[in-house]
Amino acid sequence: MDTLSHFILALLAGLAMGLHRKHKLSLIVFISFCSILIDLDHFLLSLGYATQRCPFHNIFIVFLIPFTLFLISYYLERNSPSDKFQVFFLLLTIMLTGHLIADMVGRPVQIFYPVSDMMVSIPKVDIQATPDFSSSIVNSHEIGMAIYAVIIFIGVFIHDILYHQRRKHLNFRDALQHAIGDWL
């Protein structure tokens, strides 16, 4: 997927989470921009500075580092009136993970680099109702978008838990129960 499409999908993910209601839209735009910075490895490769195909497109950079930073900010901001760093790193985790999923549609990515060179992709799928019907019912891109949607839903659920903890001064267990109640 091209970089502009990654930016647009990240922006839509931020808007879908509804964070623009509580935080400035400029924060979502900034995080969307940050989420495309992992595409710098394409430029580094073309300039000869990178030896691997996509050294930044791996689970460690797109998920583990931002999610760890989210957990650290959760711990540091638990008694603070502000939750900006929590929101920033949660949204960055969602956008970067979605970026990786979108890149895995139709082409393999070394998601465990540098630990393993194993390539992983979302396989090519094209299911049609009949051979005469030119449009597919399900294809690889739609599967990738469905996975991205699930990631966004998980992010919204985590954000709801944080909301209940912060606004209603609940412990994690009670906030989790309230968030589940809101969803059901």
This prediction has a pTM of 0.86
At residue 120, φ and ψ (nearest 5 deg) are -130, 140
- Ranking 14-18, 53-57, 163-167 by mean pLDDT, the lowest is 53-57
Question: What are the structural domain ranges in the chain?
Answer: 3-183
Stretch 32-38: mean pLDDT: 90
Residue 158 pLDDT exceeds 80: yes
Quote the mean pLDDT of the chain.
Answer: 86
**What pLDDT, on the 0 to 100 scale, is given for residue 53?**
66
pLDDT at residue 183 in the model: 84
Give the pLDDT score at 50.
63
pLDDT in tens, 95-133: 999 999 998 998 888 899 889 888 999 888 888 877 777
Q: Mean of the pLDDT values across residues 81-94?
A: 88
> Is residue 72 pLDDT above 90, yes or no?
yes
Give the DSSP per-residue string, 3-51: HHHHHHHHHHHHHHTTGGGTS-HHHHHHHHHHHTGGGHHHHHHHHT--S
Highest averaged pLDDT of the listed ranges 46-50, 136-140, 175-179: 175-179
Q: Is the per-residue pLDDT at 89 higher than 90?
A: yes
The per-residue pLDDT for 51 is: 61
Distance from chain centroid for Cα 103: 12
Structure tokens at 30: 């900034």
3-state DSSP of 98-147: HHHHHHHECCCECCCCCCCCCCECECCCEECCCCCCCCCCEEHHHHHHHH
Binning pLDDT at 50, 70 and 90, where does residue 84 land? confident
